[in-house]
Amino acid sequence: MLNKIIKMKQVIDSLPPKCREIIIMNKLQGVKYKDIAEHRGISVKTVESQMRIAFNKIREAFKEDYALMFLMFG
């Protein structure tokens, strides 16, 4: 399991800066999309788009491990 945590951190660290900040704010800090948008001066749609990009990259990295994806994002 530790290897998967390390891999997740590497994937998140490899995201573009805006994308990385948004996913960290939402998933680790619990900030809502609306609040992220206000904080960053962007639209909620942009937050949604950046989250979609992040999830797609994470899914691709863990495509063989569906159980982990379900637990984290299900």
pLDDT digits (tens, 9 = 90+) for 28-54: 999 999 999 999 999 999 999 999 999
Of 56, 6, 28, 59, residue with least CA distance to 48 = 56
pLDDT at 8 exceeding the cut of 60: yes
In this prediction the pTM is 0.80
4: confidence class by pLDDT, cuts 50, 70, 90: confident
Reduced to 3 states, what is the DSSP secondary structure of residue 30? coil
Higher pLDDT, 25 or 61: 25
Cα separation, 63 vs 69, in Å, equals 8
Domains and CATH numbers, the chain: 2-73 (1.10.10.10)
5: confidence class by pLDDT, cuts 50, 70, 90: confident
Supply the pLDDT for residue 16: 95
